[in-house]
Chain A
């Protein structure tokens, strides 16, 4: 079986994905396609199954035959090979006490290091290159736990980039950040995506931000896709009222619709 990405194949192809955790169905028949180079953001109310979908695409859940990555069934990929294709930034990654930024980002080179082996100078060079790209060059000796939220998020991204994967899965990449750092991180991701032809599949809660950066959006509710399309097709007052039970006003913006919460009128 060829591990080379098939030409023209979608980065992610999910067909009829069912996931149950501990007997409870979380996802019931989800379809999703992400073209290579595209940015797709999954939105949906709490408990809709967004993180589970991302974990399944990242190979962290058993999903036989439902998921294809760059033309190869995910189940047919060896873990190390999958790790060279897909990199995940979890919602709140563990920050091991005492670990330096350099050591942390070096962990991203794991799929290239022989079992029981150690990093080569090429691996260290690759990490320094990634740190430079993310404006973290001066940070490599700092202890990860002492960095601010925004700096940390960039280090998490750096680890994922050091993995050399072309598909980036971001689970709530901005949830721990203030509004300025949220924009900062998303700009960095978008810039990297353009420069290096990355594909991004993200989950987000902030709908306006999500709509400004995504090419396409997918709305999940109760384990199923209830809407998919461009941001202006998905971010509508009707859909948000139905599935989020939210009272919002959607205003057209320069980069996509802006979703403004409005206090519901009392009956």
Chain B
């Protein structure tokens, strides 16, 4: 309960800070008032001009909301994969899931002609489904390869398989980019991860998949705790571990696919956030999963603030910022997880 409140506060802070900061700084109090005005029946005087109100509702708010959704999804998917694979290093990126989704989106744009206007905004709503197919293909490859290394597939094997699958799929993507260099220019900025061109359209693109993923994963949070004691135990406690596992892999991959479709490749959120939550709030997935959703959203929205202010007026790709934070963090996780891996 305590952590639920902390998570909600983090999301609200990220929302107000994310909308306030930018090339035109707005007072957080006015921003908060303007956000409350979005609720029906609320009419507060924020003291902002028409133009500033438009900045809030049409430019910054969709961007921050998209950051919250994508960050939440990536962290939730990471936490879910960690439980399903009983592997502290599992993450949408290390498993190759994001690369699979990336390849599918690139293929859809290059071969399907979407985004020919030279921008990525206005992607058809079906793009996340293509990404979903790509992510499922990738996670299946990783799972099969990782299991081939041993009867049970050790945690390190799974990650090595993920790295190999990632490299393989990225190579496919690079090939597509080379062949379609003229039509596919916008993919380059998307590859590095960006929330920049986000309008409400991108939010709507992600939202249905985000809701579906969140509902499925959160409903199974207790079963993930049971899976933590092993498949035999789960089975003798009356569960169907493999069925649960496939369902949750599909759900987490759908969430990853939706996130990647909208914002490109933003790494490490799925490993930074669930591990921080685990350190702070304990090891039960009943806490880790909802908290990862909330803190993941807040984390990415705030990271985006850093990405667009630290080198203003130009923006850093957000994927670069998360990777800069995530690299050292990953080393930390490796050190604490050494016991599990050997």
**A contact residues vs B (CB 8 Å cutoff):** 55, 58-60, 79-84, 86-88, 90, 93-94, 96-99, 103-104, 107-108, 110-111, 113, 116-118, 163
- Encode contact with A along B201-245: 1 for CB under 8 Å, 0 otherwise: 000000000000000000110110110111011011111100000
Compute how far the CA of A111 lies from the CA of B223 in the bound complex, rounded to whole angstroms: 11
Asked whether B237 lies within 8 Å of A163 as measured between CB atoms, the reply is yes
Interface assignment of B180: CB less than 8 Å from any CB of chain A: no
Asked whether A99 lies within 8 Å of B233 as measured between CB atoms, the reply is no
Identify 11 residue pairs between A and B in the complex whose beta-carbon atoms are under 8 Å apart, listed by A's number.
A60-B235, A79-B235, A88-B233, A90-B230, A94-B229, A96-B228, A103-B225, A110-B237, A110-B239, A116-B220, A118-B286
Residues of A within 8 A of B284 (CB): 99, 103
Query: B283's contact among A83, A84, A99, by CB below 8 Å, is which?
Result: A99
- By beta carbon, the residue of chain B nearest A79 is B238
CB distance from B235 to the nearest CB of A (A): 6
CB distance from B278 to the nearest CB of A (A): 7
Interface assignment of B282: CB less than 8 Å from any CB of chain A: yes
Asked whether A83 lies within 8 Å of B232 as measured between CB atoms, the reply is no
Asked whether A110 lies within 8 Å of B283 as measured between CB atoms, the reply is no
Asked whether B226 lies within 8 Å of A107 as measured between CB atoms, the reply is yes
Asked whether B229 lies within 8 Å of A86 as measured between CB atoms, the reply is no
Compute how far the CA of A55 lies from the CA of B232 in the bound complex, rounded to whole angstroms: 9
Which residues between 267 and 311 of chain B lie within 8 Å of chain A, taking CB atoms? Answer: 278, 282-284, 286
Given contacts A60-B232, A93-B233, A118 and B283 within 8 Å (CB-CB): no
Asked whether A104 lies within 8 Å of B236 as measured between CB atoms, the reply is no
Compute how far the CA of A80 lies from the CA of B239 in the bound complex, rounded to whole angstroms: 7
- By beta carbon, the residue of chain B nearest A78 is B238
Compute how far the CA of A14 lies from the CA of B225 in the bound complex, rounded to whole angstroms: 33
Asked whether A108 lies within 8 Å of B228 as measured between CB atoms, the reply is no
Contacts beyond the supplied A55-B232, A60-B236, A97-B340: 9 A-B pairs with Cβ under 8 Å: A60-B232, A79-B239, A82-B238, A83-B236, A83-B237, A98-B283, A110-B237, A117-B222, A163-B237
CB distance from B87 to the nearest CB of A (A): 12
Asked whether B233 lies within 8 Å of A83 as measured between CB atoms, the reply is no
Which residues between 12 and 54 of chain B lie within 8 Å of chain A, taking CB atoms? Answer: none
Asked whether A113 lies within 8 Å of B222 as measured between CB atoms, the reply is yes
Asked whether A99 lies within 8 Å of B237 as measured between CB atoms, the reply is no
CB distance from B23 to the nearest CB of A (A): 44
Residues of A within 8 A of B240 (CB): 79
Query: B229's contact among A98, A107, A117, A118, by CB below 8 Å, is which?
Result: A107
Residues of B within 8 A of A94 (CB): 228-230, 233
CB distance from B289 to the nearest CB of A (A): 13
Compute how far the CA of A58 lies from the CA of B238 in the bound complex, rounded to whole angstroms: 11
Asked whether A93 lies within 8 Å of B230 as measured between CB atoms, the reply is yes
Residues of A within 8 A of B229 (CB): 93-94, 96, 104, 107
CB distance from B253 to the nearest CB of A (A): 20
Residues of A within 8 A of B225 (CB): 99, 103, 107
Residues of A within 8 A of B235 (CB): 59-60, 79
Residues of A within 8 A of B232 (CB): 55, 60, 88, 90
- By beta carbon, the residue of chain B nearest A80 is B238
Asked whether B236 lies within 8 Å of A116 as measured between CB atoms, the reply is no
